[in-house]
Amino acid sequence: MRNVLTVFIASPSDLAPERQRAFDVVADVNDVLRPTNWAIELLGWEDTLPGYGRPQALINRDVERCDLFIGAVWRRWGTAPATDSLFSSGLEEEFSIAVKRRDRTPSPEIWVFFKKVDLAQIADAGAQLQRVIAFRESLVASKTVLFKEFEDVAAWEKMLRTYLIRHVLDLSSGSTRWPQGPSEPASVVGSNAPCEPSGTATPGAGDQLAKLAHSLAPAFASGDLDEVAKSIDDPDETAFLAVRVFLLSVALVAASRTSASLMPPHELNTLYRYRERLLATDDEMYVLFRTLLADEFDVSPGWFWLKDLGTRAIIVRLLSVIVYDDNSGARATSFSVLRGAAVPIFPQFRESLLTETFPALPAQVHDEAWAYLVDVATAEDVKTLGRASGTWLESRVGWLQAWLDAGRDLDQFLPKSPDPQFLSNPLKQLIAESIPKLSDPSLGALSSMPVTDLSEKAAAEMERKRPGPASGAAGPRRRRRRANWPSLLSVGPLFGGSPEARDADDERYERLGRQSSDELKLALDWYSLDGRISYQLLTERGEISREVVRADINHGFQRIRESSDEHLESVFGPAAAAKIRQDFAELHDFIAKQSIEKAIAALALDSTRDDVAVARQLLTNDRTRSAALEIIAANGDASDVQRLLEIARTSFGDDRITALKGIRRLASDRLATAKVLIAAETRDMRRAALALVRDVDDAEVVRFLKELLSHDDEEARLTAVALLRMRLENAQLLELLRDYIGKGTYYYNVVTWLDRLLYAPEPMSGYYATKLDGELKEVMS
């Protein structure tokens, strides 16, 4: 008799692909298991037969009989299976049935899988994801049900196939162990972490905790938390009490050294609404400090409570985090702050920091720790580092010594061809900004480095500095037009602007560009493939005046055509010339279009206001639009803004970039134009909107920026904060913060940045100002 493992799979609707793949996996696994006399029967709601009764109850029958229950969750939790249900989702009810069965009997085995969620989504989770997070935390707390994470459908398929095969093989050998380890334990604070009071407690913190305990007394007496809300009878007071208790709980866990807990963003932002009421203890202050440092997504406000810390106190706490903390984000930020403030390693800590702390840092902190050393380390520091052999720093000490020997001077350092893998990110940024000022040896060394962005910029700068070739260096050559005519007549399919034709044009441009102007004039012929490129090169060299070029465009290059016809007759006679012209009769429009394309490209290289009129006529032609756009963007006027807006909406790539640059330069009503652009769905158009109002300082722009604080684009909100900071005094920013939090809904990153700008003490304020300036520079670039 064949053995059957009955498996029930439960999952919300956002895992439909994984659910379908599970059925495919079971089919494959059954093929593998055929020789073992085992098979898997996979059940789900799809297999429930229609019948009378509550739909979920019909599904639950399969849960009651399964041997293995698999729950899979991502971002959705689901909806209640009935209006009067005790459960918030079908998954919860199915899981509850499975757990209760397992409490009474050895069956079913219970596996739970979580598909990984982006940290940014976790930091600002909605109601559905919050339930998923709570479910996961309950599993960690209970330590009774094991779970695993997976990245995507492919990882899910691989994991599920492996576990099912192993599980059936274990069953066939008499084992029922699920072949995987438990969920990861909560991180543990190092035993050397400081836990003594730091002297930063808010006066009255003890009294507030006493009142807190008194408020909880009804719940202690009855065991019912509803009693607390009933006794307070104030929703705001209840909310404050809840988050106040939460902070205390996190601090107690951290003080016990069993977990390096942080305040979650939702609870912290709720607490911030009552910021003036919080009287925090030392341990709570340390939790808040660590939480702010570890805030990778700019969603954790709280400097209001730490605003009175002095600079030295902040530095000491940053060093404490670096040495003792186990949160990589907090440690990395601490290094960044100390680097930005140019805080050196204190001599009394040098030995322990450089020979013990730095070598033991986790990989996630290496980049920021190294950037700190590159910017701040002294010769004595490097000497001490040399004694820390056998660590991730060992191969870098010589590089760091060379950097210091060069006096941190790029022109002294780069020609030595330093190993580019040790360039810190801030140093790369410094090099990129310094390229126009670097010496030729530095540019040469940089252009050969395998750092694409920097090497390309260095090569471009070297090319820019290189003097152009003389136009008449080569002597004239005899014209050989006859060979070109059949070549032109045979091109046919390439007339449409195919990649092959473009490549041929590039090759021809490069070849002809090596010829003298006299040779190019000889090649300037209506019927020659080289003719149009020769025209372009002569225009670029100034051999054909811009006035003549514009006239040629407007008259369809009739001048060139007539000159070429005269030459045909002089060389071949009237009859032969007439035959050639007849052969080309159908090509004249194409030749004219190609000639216009080359001519406008030449004008665009160094365009003037006089070129705009002809450029406007060529915007609708795909082959001439890019060059025409460049001319209008550089030399047009406000009347061109509307057509540039339309091109920005409907084009992509370089054309959109050029159109947006033109809009930024030409718009007369910058605010009105910005309002049009900010409504666009693309980030580059929204960036152009923000750039338009950067230097406009009036009440209407301030009102516009305040409205952007509620925009659904994170970058738009952050840029609005940066621009408001440039326009408003601190008292106005404080009023803005109060009004913003008073709204029904608001964004955490706005509150977080306003909190940082208003309350962060030095050196934190300098760090945040630099970070915000960097964000603004990126948007405005």
Q: Spell 203-226 as b/e; 16+ CB within 10 A means b.
A: eebeebbeeeeebbebeeeeeeee
d(CA 226, CA 385) in angstroms, rounded, equals: 59
CATH number of 3-172: 3.40.50
pLDDT of 286-329, one tens digit each? Answer: 899 999 999 999 999 999 999 998 888 898 889 888 988 889 99
Domain boundaries, the chain: 3-172, 205-407, 408-465, 483-579, 684-781
Question: DSSP string covering 180-246, please?
Answer: SPPPPPPP---TT---S--S-PPTTHHHHHHHHHHHTHHHHHHS-THHHHHHH--HHHHHHHHHHHH
Q: Which of 544, 521, 551, 546 is closest to 534 using CA atoms?
A: 521
Task: Tell me the average pLDDT across 684-693.
Answer: 96
* pLDDT score of 484 more than 60: no
pLDDT at residue 203 in the model: 75
Band (165; pLDDT cuts 50, 70, 90): confident
Q: Which residues of 547-578 are buried (b: 16+ CB within 10 A; e: fewer)?
A: eebbebbeebbeebbeebbebbeeeeeeeebe
- The H or E element that residue 10 is part of is strand 3-10
Taking only the tens place, the pLDDT of each residue in 627-672 is: 999 999 999 999 999 999 999 999 989 999 999 999 999 999 999 9
Task: Tell me the pLDDT of the chain averaged across its residues.
Answer: 86
Rounded mean pLDDT, 705-728:
96
Q: Where are the alpha helices (DSSP H) in 513-557?
A: 517-523, 529-540, 546-554
Burial of 184 (0-12, 13-18, 19+ CB in 10 A): exposed
Q: How confident is the model at residue 29 (pLDDT cuts 50, 70, 90)?
A: confident
Q: What is the pLDDT of residue 491?
A: 42
The Cα–Cα gap between 464 and 441 comes to: 15
Query: Is it the case that residue 227 has pLDDT exceeding 70?
Result: no
pLDDT in tens, 31-40: 767 766 789 9
What's the pLDDT at 80? 85
pLDDT tens-digit series, residues 84-130: 778 889 999 999 999 999 999 988 999 999 999 988 888 888 889 99
Judge whether residue 350 has pLDDT over 80: yes
φ and ψ of 114, to 5 deg:
-120, 125
For the chain, counts of helices (H) and of strands (E): 40, 5
Give dist(CA 602, CA 507) in Å, integer. 17
Distance CA 615, CA 625 (A): 8
Contact present, 115 and 18 (Cβ < 8 Å): yes
Take residue 765 and report the two structure tokens written for it: 């304020």
Percent of the chain with pLDDT over 90: 62
Q: What gap in Å lies between CA 497 and CA 723, rounded to an integer? A: 45
Dist CA 403 CA 125 (whole Å): 45
Q: Which residue has the higher pLDDT, 482 or 732?
A: 732
Which of these ranges, 258-272, 331-345, 375-389, 722-736, has the smallest mean pLDDT? Answer: 258-272
pLDDT in tens, 382-435: 999 988 788 999 999 999 999 999 999 999 999 999 999 999 999 999 999 999
Across 279-318, b (16+ Cβ under 10 Å) vs e yields: bbbbbbbbbbbbbbbbbebbbbbbbbbbeebeeeebbebb
